[in-house]
């Protein structure tokens, strides 16, 4: 696919995704992490305007003098901005005005990309912008799910809940033998700077489960007092459980006739055969302890990834999010994309039902704080 | 005016007030006190449904099973509810659905009120509901102003800012002689339970200023280091100034060419001749100290109110919000209207540019915490 | 008694009060309001040094360059200071050093007071300093009680708990007839500026109970679900109950064999006949509501005070702490003593078992925030 | 040395360390992390009582029924406890009582250890208890330093500040070649479970500096606006800088004549040649970025540790604190020693001037949250 075609495809998908929404749904932000759909649409457009058009377009003029302030997420290089938790305070610009902004940016971008030999640096930036937009497409689903979940009306975004039956071989483990493994991205295709450079990691023997954990297996953990037995939990996890009075995963609730969970199709009875999701690292690690197993390191995961099916859940690893050997942040705003988060974050691997098609790969590193459960994250077990 | 005509009039005004809004403007709640317009419209309708229709209508059925949960404000008698700070988290019901809800309630209410001799208790409840709605009409303005003010685009709701030129006799004081004065409501017209019963209060001699304070007089205070000289301020006011880094009234900002304030007509240069507003009690008391004067008690204010023009600003008094002699809370939900707030609140008297026509009277007691500046409140000085 | 004799007496009492303590007991401050005994001893000495010696002593030199910083409580006039919640962070100066400081101040003060005709302004300041020290003698008991109460060893300060049998006429009410009453201090003896000036207040008929509430009466309230029935409570009281999970008064705990309370003599079984104490205003008001009575205003209390026994509990009134007619703060540090607290505080009248002998009087106004229960405060009921 | 001799030696050192203190110094806890000396002395004795005597002593009786509640630190297995931030609220037991407790435990322990063939499991527990006490000896210094530092009198614990001249070869780097390195403890001597098991790690080529960073080098960073240039800092570090208004390392202050730091010998002028300390991970990482270098991983550090002098500062690594291959928590309370902290913590290697002689080793893994600067931690740089 040509770059301008890929551009058009990704941008169109963002607009298709919001088509089931009411105007009102574009606005609220019930938690600092749950950005409103309107902000996501504006921010991804601003990314192209500020990172590409401002540099490559002759006589560039910002679409609106305040949009850099409103739609900048976390780029200190690019100046002051609306603080993250206040994105839901803004009724203006209206949804229609943000759509107009998107069309304006698309027109500018298409005329930049069309009909000329592209500078490789420009191509790289456009690819970054499109992958960035795909990341926000995923966030659109997870943010909207959170926003709808706090509404006592439990609105449905879609008719199909984002979950899938688990494959059947739940007890099968894949054996991986000790030795040096190549970790990280080595090819020419698009990848983030945090996947580089490819390097050797020595792994000991381990076995990794073919299938992911199911709801049914996790219910067993709950019903065996899993949330009350401190010996399975990290110390800071116990503080979280106590302070937030946690007794089950995010979006779950127990009713008289069993367990329910809020899904993007509304409140639904939990199917024990479905793959578990919305588990944070504390819960994933405690479950593994209970099973006398553990979570994989990100290196074990990558070394074995060709041998199991992945892509339905972001999978927690035991690894902290740290730079690979030789990692250097780029200069300027692009350098703020990944490197500055490399402390107190944990790596997830794979991709989820909410991830854009073709966006992830086996070297892809997602990262979140241990307490985050609003992503479609799950558990894959390892034993030594 | 007949009761059903008054009903229709008040309800129509609420709808006229929201007509300049975009759909998006109905949603955000940037602070716990700034309820979204959608919630205000739903809540005032719920008040009629729950307080009147549920009792007086045969075969009453709630319009929606969850609306009691969503639109209850603070009535413990009426059950659990969305917590106050989360009203802005709800995109649903949509604005259109709330409009439908209003129409449904109006139809039910009109058929209840129409064509029959009304039970006095029912009349009293309807009057309470309408005065309640008028209070929310005022809150609509103050809440919306706050919401728009935090938006870097400074949207305008109207072309006319809600402020007025001060009358000219700023140095005139009215003399009131010592003696017993009747305080509180004694007549038959509508009034709140907190205005009753009428009782005698002994007042010493005092003088009260005919006009309210102007922006220009307050600028003089600021420029004389008013916010830095601790001797004028209450101890808890100093803590507020320090913690919030306060250097001027709410909505004010200093630019190179002078003082500006956000108004419902957008950001505007401050006119020194206009009546000061958005002053909290800490600021009002400090200004009075600086002037070597004081604020009136609510009794002084009421005793003198026939002799000056009022109604443009809610006026801070020195009085705490306490029950009058013989005060008894009504039983049931109606009893929660006023009495349970009679601790740590301060009385304001008068009414403001945002108050519905005919809603206030000289015995009317409004009340807020000392730190509240988002009402259209102002300062009238007293000297002994 | 001559002034220097009174000085010696008050200062001696402070030292006698700390004699049962271990050195360790002088240090901790488990809550911002519970100042350590060491700080209380240093602060009351600093008061004389800074308010009197610095002005009246020739060639005055501070005892220690940092003590003004360490022992200033809240006098902005007198500069920066250790923040209130950090008084328990300081192991130094040692207790012995603070004793030395006291002796030094006493020697200076005695030579100032001895053998000369005293300037009336000086006399007034010394009397203020001594009454100030008496207030801290009371705080010594209430602060220490709190500090000991959080210790799982429940240390005893004394063999005698600070409580007393209630007198027997609990159902008697005193009738007061409507009319103008003189309120406030008019004589020459020592009094605080907040008791002045004497002025007329018009009161309606009321009846006030001769005796204070007992533990037994309050237990009845608890056992009638008093803490669960929202209709008795102020709205902010309900927030306090919910947030702090309050189910009984401060220092109370229910054990298998009944109610216990921590006292300065250790953990003791509650005697139902004893006068209730450690009640905050929220609780006092809720109890009164339950009884279909109310708390007195401070004016009603003062008008009737000659007719009942008082002085065992500080008694909550319904009145907010506000200035009397003609009140003016003094200039300088002395002016910070009372006036700057006249917002969001509530008046207590009487005096308690912890109050220094002769310190209180019927015009005395104590004041605390509605949530404060660590004083020896109690309930006296009124009915109209 | 025999075990009971080692026991006596370690226990004696704890007592010698507190000998310069005043009784008052044993009490305060100005921050949750700065445990009072009294608590440290009690807790280390409780560790022997609860982990060893309770199991191995016939007819064991606790010394005091509440000491398990008071002196338990974080062992959930061993029941409820005084919450960490309230250790400074307890004046009782007195210091003398804690000394008595220590003597009692010592007598019991000596009779247990003396004159018999020891069970290897018992020996291991005693060694754990003694190494645990040594860790608290280090914490004694760091906690006391913090407590004294917040006192405006800046008390001195000792005449000798805990710092040392840096060795002179600051620009020398040691080259380490790529390959597989053995990491972790393999021998029989005492070690913690987190050092096990020894395993291979593949490292790429790197160079590590022989000497640690000096104060002078860090001052250069500060004076080059190091704390203001966001590009060097992690995102959460910027939040920390902004919220806490950080402009220099902990304990530093700028005066007219230059930089000072609080030391255990009082406030002292900073010597630029001394080794930098009290740096948190945010600062260490930002400094390294500024120098275009980085911090070592814990594996790089261990692989090179034989080639440089270490032991004066705990050295920040880039590594998160995670289990080694095959790590299993022990069952029971001992299993809570290390494993439950293996999330969101960062590894430090080496040991510091405050570390007990012989306590650390090259495989030793200390760990703290990235924001912790109150340890004697420092910076060693690496380049690739």
- Which of A21, A24, A36 would you mutate first to test chain B, the one with the most B CBs within 10 A? A24
- Alpha-carbon distance A234 to nearest alpha carbon in chain D (angstroms): 4
A341 to chain D, any CB pair closer than 8 A? The answer is: yes
D28 closest CB neighbour out of C82, C90, C153: C90
Could you tell me the pLDDT band of residue D80, with boundaries at 50, 70 and 90?
Answer: confident
CB atoms within 10 A of CB C119: 10
Rounded-to-integer distance, Cα A94 and Cα A38, Å: 8
- Region D312-335 average pLDDT: 94
B230 to chain C, any CB pair closer than 8 A? The answer is: yes
Rounded-to-integer distance, Cα D322 and Cα D325, Å: 10
b/e map of D165-184 (b: 16 or more CB within 10 Å)?
Answer: ebeeeeeebeebeeeebebb
Q: What is the dihedral of CA D366, D371, D373, D377, to 10 degrees?
A: 40
Residue A169 has what pLDDT? 67
- Which of B21, B25, B26, B28 would you mutate first to test chain A, the one with the most A CBs within 10 A? B28
Q: Which of A198-212, A296-310, B28-42, B169-183 has the lowest mean pLDDT?
A: B169-183
pLDDT higher than 80, residue A260: yes
- Region C91-111 average pLDDT: 98
Q: Which of B135-139, C244-248, D157-161, D350-354 has the lowest mean pLDDT?
A: D157-161
- Alpha-carbon distance C5 to nearest alpha carbon in chain B (angstroms): 35
A94 to chain B, any CB pair closer than 8 A? The answer is: yes
C-alpha torsion sign, points B349, B355, B360, B366: negative
Residues of A in contact with D326 (CB under 8 A): 204, 384
Residues of A in contact with D325 (CB under 8 A): 204, 384
Nearest residue on chain A to D337, judged by CA atoms? A235
CB atoms within 10 A of CB B122: 16
CB contact under 8 Å between D318 and A322, yes or no, is yes
D147 to chain C, any CB pair closer than 8 A? The answer is: yes
Could you tell me the pLDDT band of residue D383, with boundaries at 50, 70 and 90?
Answer: very high
Strands B377-378 and B314-320: parallel
What order do you get walking across the sheet with C382-383 strand by strand?
C173-176, C206-209, C382-383
Strands (E), chain C: 173-176, 179-183, 199-203, 206-209, 252-255, 258-263, 266-269, 314-320, 346-350, 366-368, 377-378, 382-383
Phi, psi at B149, each rounded to 5°? -65, -25
D89 closest CB neighbour out of C93, C95, C150: C150
CB contact under 8 Å between B343 and C370, yes or no, is yes
User: Contact D244/D201 with Cβ under 8 angstroms?
Assistant: no
Subunits with 3+ Cβ pairs within 8 Å of A are B, D
**At what angle are helices B120-149 and B3-18 packed, to 10 degrees?**
10
- Say whether A352 sits in a helix, a strand or coil: coil
- Region C291-301 average pLDDT: 97
What number of C-beta contacts closer than 8 Å exist between C and D?
Answer: 95
User: Contact C76/C335 with Cβ under 8 angstroms?
Assistant: no
Could you tell me the pLDDT band of residue D79, with boundaries at 50, 70 and 90?
Answer: confident
- Alpha-carbon distance C82 to nearest alpha carbon in chain D (angstroms): 8
CB contact under 8 Å between B231 and C323, yes or no, is no
Structure tokens at A268: 């639904």
pLDDT higher than 70, residue A170: no
Report the percentage of chain A scoring pLDDT > 70: 99
CB contact under 8 Å between B322 and C319, yes or no, is yes
Prediction pTM value: 0.96
Structure tokens at C159: 């063999």
D224: exposed, middle or buried (C-beta count within 10 Å: 0-12, 13-18, 19+)? Answer: exposed
Rounded-to-integer distance, Cα C99 and Cα C92, Å: 12
Phi, psi at C353, each rounded to 5°? -55, -20
End-to-end CA distance of chain A: 43
Task: Give residue-wise pLDDT tens across range D127-145.
Answer: 999 999 999 999 999 999 9
- Say whether C175 sits in a helix, a strand or coil: strand
D280: CB partners within 8 A, 6+ apart? D250, D370, D371, D372, D373, D377
**Prediction ipTM score:** 0.95
Residue with tokens 């009164």: C288
Residue C332 has what pLDDT? 87
CB contact under 8 Å between A340 and D202, yes or no, is no
Residue B203 has what pLDDT? 98
- Region A177-196 average pLDDT: 96
Which comes out higher in pLDDT, residue C89 or C80?
A: C89
Q: What is the dihedral of CA D67, D69, D74, D77, to 10 degrees?
A: 100
D50: CB partners within 8 A, 6+ apart? D68, D72, D75, D78, D333
Residues of A in contact with D319 (CB under 8 A): 320, 322
Ramachandran assignment for C168, one of left (phi > 0), alpha (psi -120 to 50 degrees), beta (any other): alpha
pLDDT higher than 90, residue A294: yes
End-to-end CA distance of chain B: 43
D82 to chain C, any CB pair closer than 8 A? The answer is: yes
A237 to chain D, any CB pair closer than 8 A? The answer is: yes
Residue C93 has what pLDDT? 98
Q: What is the average pLDDT score of chain B?
A: 95
Residue B168 has what pLDDT? 60
- Alpha-carbon distance A256 to nearest alpha carbon in chain D (angstroms): 33
Nearest residue on chain B to A69, judged by CA atoms? B152
Q: Do chains C and A touch (3 or more CB pairs under 8 A)?
A: no
DSSP code per residue over B335-378:
GGSSGGG-SS-EEEEE--TTSPTT---TT--EEE-TT--SSSEE
CB contact under 8 Å between C343 and B285, yes or no, is yes
Could you tell me the pLDDT band of residue C144, with boundaries at 50, 70 and 90?
Answer: very high
Rounded-to-integer distance, Cα D370 and Cα D283, Å: 9
- Say whether C3 sits in a helix, a strand or coil: helix
Residue D315 has what pLDDT? 98
D236 closest CB neighbour out of A180, A238, A344: A344
Structure tokens at A189: 């295709």
D249 to chain C, any CB pair closer than 8 A? The answer is: no
B290: CB partners within 8 A, 6+ apart? B221, B224, B226, B229, B232
CB contact under 8 Å between D323 and A318, yes or no, is yes
Rounded-to-integer distance, Cα D91 and Cα D95, Å: 9
Residue A31 has what pLDDT? 96
Nearest residue on chain B to C181, judged by CA atoms? B202
D188: CB partners within 8 A, 6+ apart? none
Residue D128 has what pLDDT? 97
A76 closest CB neighbour out of D76, D230, D281: D230
Rounded-to-integer distance, Cα B9 and Cα C331, Å: 55
Phi, psi at D25, each rounded to 5°? -70, -15
CB contact under 8 Å between B22 and A92, yes or no, is yes
C153 closest CB neighbour out of D22, D93, D155: D93
Could you tell me the pLDDT band of residue D335, with boundaries at 50, 70 and 90?
Answer: confident
D334 to chain A, any CB pair closer than 8 A? The answer is: no
pLDDT higher than 90, residue D166: no
b/e map of B288-298 (b: 16 or more CB within 10 Å)?
Answer: bbbbebbbbbb
User: Contact B144/B182 with Cβ under 8 angstroms?
Assistant: no
pLDDT higher than 70, residue D239: yes
Rounded-to-integer distance, Cα B272 and Cα B269, Å: 9
- Say whether C95 sits in a helix, a strand or coil: helix
- Region A205-221 average pLDDT: 96
pLDDT higher than 80, residue C170: no
Measured CA angle at C291 (ends C286, C295), to 5 deg: 60
D98 to chain C, any CB pair closer than 8 A? The answer is: no
Could you tell me the pLDDT band of residue C168, with boundaries at 50, 70 and 90?
Answer: low
Residues of B in contact with C383 (CB under 8 A): none
Rounded-to-integer distance, Cα D231 and Cα D236, Å: 12
Nearest residue on chain B to C331, judged by CA atoms? B231
Which secondary structure element, helix H or strand E, spans residue D151, and what is its range?
A: none
User: Contact C147/C30 with Cβ under 8 angstroms?
Assistant: yes
Nearest residue on chain A to D198, judged by CA atoms? A204
User: Contact A182/A198 with Cβ under 8 angstroms?
Assistant: yes
User: Where would I find the H helices in D195-272?
Assistant: 215-223, 235-244
Nearest residue on chain D to A339, judged by CA atoms? D234
Residues of C in contact with D27 (CB under 8 A): 24, 27-28, 91
Structure tokens at A10: 């990704």
pLDDT higher than 80, residue D168: no
b/e map of D77-93 (b: 16 or more CB within 10 Å)?
Answer: ebeebbeeeebbbbbbb
pLDDT higher than 90, residue A117: no
pLDDT higher than 70, residue B169: no
Rounded-to-integer distance, Cα D57 and Cα B26, Å: 72
CB contact under 8 Å between B86 and A25, yes or no, is no
- Alpha-carbon distance A383 to nearest alpha carbon in chain D (angstroms): 9
pLDDT higher than 80, residue D167: no
Reference D284, options D379, D171, D384; nearest CA is D379
């Amino acid at each position: 696919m040509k770059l301008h075609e890929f551009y058009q495809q990704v941008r169109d998908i963002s607009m298709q995704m919001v088509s089931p929404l009411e105007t009102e749904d574009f606005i609220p932000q019930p938690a600092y992490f749950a950005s409103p759909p309107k902000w996501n649409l504006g921010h991804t457009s601003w990314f192209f305007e500020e990172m590409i058009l401002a540099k490559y377009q002759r006589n560039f003029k910002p679409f609106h003098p305040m949009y850099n302030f409103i739609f900048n997420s976390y780029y200190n290089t690019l100046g002051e901005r609306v603080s993250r938790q206040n994105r839901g305070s803004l009724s203006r610009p209206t949804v229609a005005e943000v759509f107009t902004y998107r069309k304006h940016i698309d027109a500018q971008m298409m005329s930049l990309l069309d009909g000329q030999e592209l500078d490789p640096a420009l191509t790289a930036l456009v690819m970054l912008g499109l992958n960035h937009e795909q990341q926000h497409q995923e966030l659109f689903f997870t943010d909207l799910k959170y926003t709808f979940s706090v509404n006592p009306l439990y609105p449905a975004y879609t008719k199909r809940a984002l979950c899938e039956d688990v494959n059947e071989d739940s007890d099968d483990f894949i054996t991986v033998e000790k030795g040096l493994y190549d970790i990280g991205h080595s090819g020419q295709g698009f990848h983030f700077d945090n996947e580089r450079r490819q390097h050797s990691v020595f792994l000991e023997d381990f076995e990794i489960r073919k299938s992911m954990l199911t709801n049914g297996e996790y219910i067993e953990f709950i019903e065996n007092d899993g949330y009350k037995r401190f010996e399975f939990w990290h110390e800071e996890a116990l503080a979280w459980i106590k302070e937030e009075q946690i007794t089950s995963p995010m979006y779950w609730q127990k009713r008289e006739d069993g367990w329910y969970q809020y899904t993007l199709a509304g409140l639904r009875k939990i199917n024990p055969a479905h793959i578990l999701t919305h588990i944070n690292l504390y819960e994933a690690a405690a479950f593994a302890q209970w099973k006398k197993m553990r979570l994989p390191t990100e290196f074990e995961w990558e070394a074995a990834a060709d041998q199991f099916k992945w892509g339905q859940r972001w999978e927690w690893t035991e690894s902290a999010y740290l730079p690979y050997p030789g990692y250097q942040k780029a200069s300027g705003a692009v350098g703020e994309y990944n490197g500055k988060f490399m402390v107190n974050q944990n790596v997830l691997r794979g991709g989820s039902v909410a991830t854009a098609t073709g966006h992830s790969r086996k070297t892809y590193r997602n990262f979140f704080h241990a307490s985050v459960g609003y992503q479609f994250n799950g558990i894959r077990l390892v034993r030594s």
